Structures are given as C-alpha cells and as structure tokens.
Amino acid sequence: MIRDAAARHTRPRRALLAAVAAAVLTALPAGAGHSAPLYPTADPDPFYNQPADLADHRPGDVLGVRPMPPLAMFPDTTITLIQFRSTNSAGDPIAATTTVLQPTNHHTDAPVLSYQHIINGLGIRCSVSKVLYTQDPNLMVREALAWNAVLKRGWTMAVPDHLGPNFAYGAAKLGGQVTLDGIRAVRQVEQLRIGGSRVAMAGYSGGGMATAWAAALQPEYAPELPIAGAAMGGVPMNLVSMLEGLGFGSHPVFGLALAAGLGLEREYPQRFPISDQMNASGLAAREKIRDACTNDILGAGAGRGIMDFARTTSLVEDAEARAVVEENSLELYPGAPTMPVFEWHSPIDGLIPVDAIDATTRRWCAAGTPVVTQQTPTPDHLTAAVLGLPAALSWLDARLQGEPAPSTC
C-alpha cells in the first residue's frame, strides 16, 4: 500500500542502515580510503569493445551488427547480435548489446517483443548471446520452450544484455535504459524489416525489473518510442525493503545480495564502495564471483550472511550509499508508465516483497496507467513465472494487435 510504503520511508535511520547493509556493506565515511571495484574480465571478442567515439552517437544508435550461427533449439530462426549506444546511471555513454531472434517466415513490420531475460550474473559468459551458445543446453531449455512459442507467432524477439557492459547486477534503472535503447536500435537495422512494427516488452524477476523500469522511464527517456505494452512478473519493486528483509542473518540466496552489492559498486564506484569494508573472506568471495553466473553466485553465498564477509561489525551509515539503493527502487521513482501494463506475481512470494509490488501498481493506477494485475496460486518465485506466462502472452498478443487495453485498477 502507498501508506505502508510511506511509513517504511520514515523509519528510524538505523532501519535504513540495515537495508543498505544487507546489500552486503555500506560505504565508508567521506575521506576514507577507497578500493577500486572489481570489474568483469574483459571480453576477448572485439565486437563487445567500447568504441572510442561513443560520445558522438545518440542513445539507440547502432554501432555494429553481426549475424550469428543458427541454433537447433530455435528452428527456422535467424539470430543477429547488435551493439548499440546506451547510457549508464551517471548519464555517460556506454555500448550495450542485444540478441535478435527472427523467424525465417517473418513478414515486414510484424510484431516485435523485447524480452528481458533473467541475468543473474557478473561476467561476460552470463550475457544472452553467450548463454545461447553454451555447452550446457539445460541452461536454456525453459527459455527455448517459451521463446519458440513467441517465434511461432511470427514475432521478432530482441533480448538485451540489460546489465550493461560492466554487468552491473542490481543497477535496475540502468536495465531500463539499456532496454529502451535496444528497442531503438533494432528498429534501425534495415535487414530486420521491423522499422514500422508494433513493439511490446516482457520479463520476469530481474528481467521484469528491467522491463518495469523501461516502462516507467519511457515517457521521459524515450518519449518518441511507441511501445504497445509491458508484461512484467515477480518484480523486485523496492530494493530497500527487499534487502532489509535479508537483514544480518544467513540466507540461502545471500549470494544474490553479494552480487548485487558488487554490481552496484561497479555502477556507482564513488557512491557505493562496499569493497572497502570486506574482510578477507569477503574479498575472496568477490574474486571468486567476479565473472560468475547464477549457480556459482548462489553457491558462494549459500547459507551465509553479511557478517561472514564484513571486515568490521561497526557499519557506517552513509547517505550516498542509501541513495543508490533508493534510486534503483522503482516503488520510490515518481514517474509512471503511460503504456498499458500486465503484472503478475505470487501473493506470498518468499523472495521479493509483495507489498512493494502492490504499492507500485496502485500508484501507477492512480496516475492513469491501465494495469492488469494477476496473482498466481503458488508461493514459489520461479513457478509463478511459468504459471503467469500464458496469460501474459495472451495479453501481449492483444496489445500487439492494437486491441484496447483492459484494466483491473
């Protein structure tokens, strides 16, 4: 509820410290020493390099196009990798990538779905274009089933690497900007023949977070971009309350919080320097997961907690570190989507705060956004993704066909 959200925001500063600390550690006071963030290992493929003339390009400009080998799990589909200019959280230019899957029977200006895949990762091998060609096909089995359902409709899919070139896991606002610029870019690639296509967005969990941020940012960040609607599920709408829920104790998925702390440090090196407060175990874990994807990240933090990796138990509250977490919490962002929204989640999700979802969608409704909300009958975060997908696809199909958007506001 909005009233509940406001109450959370006026809690004592000690509670807010706990929220930021749960991201792993807060920043040191002004004037303290600062260790450099540990960025991912550079990609040896020059296609992913950051061009020297980035500042000469506008957000969404195409920087490179590469045809990719076909894949048996996506029959009758061409795959294209596109590099484009985007913007990071500080407003600086960056080069990002998106992978486009297009059915060979595609018709000119047929619908386009920008699908923000879940990317729980800190390194290059976690990018969509790398995972597609992994030697472990099990990593993409679930996605292949859903994606083929979309491709068989004749839709083109664009799947951006929404964590950006530094794999800034946890930097949710960045994900929204990369998503919007990826849509701008694919519409410019002539051989795709989608310049006049209707476009929609979808994603779940971390991918849903990038989708939701893109929907909320679009009126200001990309007002010229027509988007028919956004379907999002299981979205962490408020990182403050989510991290506060982790607290200082051990947690089975603490590795994700550790990765989010490192990702935020990469994106905000001066404002969120958490490495300065890590003990030897923390620094060792940081090195271990600097390029890791989901399973290795979860393994590094399973059953651990903040105190296992903290150099000191005396955590210093810092306004800048707190602001970083708040800036990436969509519940606290004042803007609202003008496009229709379909949102689904478990009513008792054990991983994310459901009250933050409710507060955000109610605020969007009050702002005039047509929102359809659906609850899935499961307490499991990942099962909810599967159960909500058929209704989301049906809703997306109607938006891409130009049908009027319903609302449950």
Distances (CA, A) of 349 to 88, 147, 171: 30, 25, 22
- 408 found inside a domain: no
The tens digit of pLDDT for each residue in 191-215 reads 999 999 999 999 999 999 999 999 9
Where does a domain end: 276, 305, 327?
A: 327
Q: Are residue 209 and residue 356 in the same domain, yes or no? A: yes
- Count of domains observed in the chain: 2
pLDDT value at residue 29: 33
Q: Are residue 108 and residue 180 in the same domain, yes or no? A: yes
Q: Are residue 247 and residue 146 in the same domain, yes or no? A: no
Q: Does the structure show a pLDDT above 60 at 223?
A: yes
* H helices, E strands: number in the chain: 14, 9
The tens digit of pLDDT for each residue in 122-144 reads 999 999 989 998 866 555 666 78
The tens digit of pLDDT for each residue in 145-164 reads 889 999 999 999 999 999 99
How many angstroms separate the CA atoms of 295 and 71, rounded? 24
- What residues contact residue 80 under an 8 Å CB cut-off, 6+ apart? 65, 66, 67, 68, 99, 100, 102, 189, 191, 192
- 51 found inside a domain: no
Q: Are residue 306 and residue 182 in the same domain, yes or no? A: no
Indicate the average pLDDT of the chain: 88
The tens digit of pLDDT for each residue in 227-266 reads 999 999 999 999 988 877 776 778 888 899 999 999 999 9
CATH number, domain with residue 141:
3.40.50.1820
Q: Are residue 198 and residue 252 in the same domain, yes or no? A: no
How many angstroms separate the CA atoms of 36 and 3, rounded? 40
Q: Tell me the residue range of the domain where 28 lies.
A: 2-40+241-327
Strand order in the sheet with 229-233: 62-68, 77-87, 93-103, 156-160, 112-116, 199-204, 229-233, 341-345, 371-375
Q: Are residue 319 and residue 345 in the same domain, yes or no? A: no
Please, where are the H alpha helices in 107-171?
128-131, 141-151
How many angstroms separate the CA atoms of 152 and 278, rounded? 49
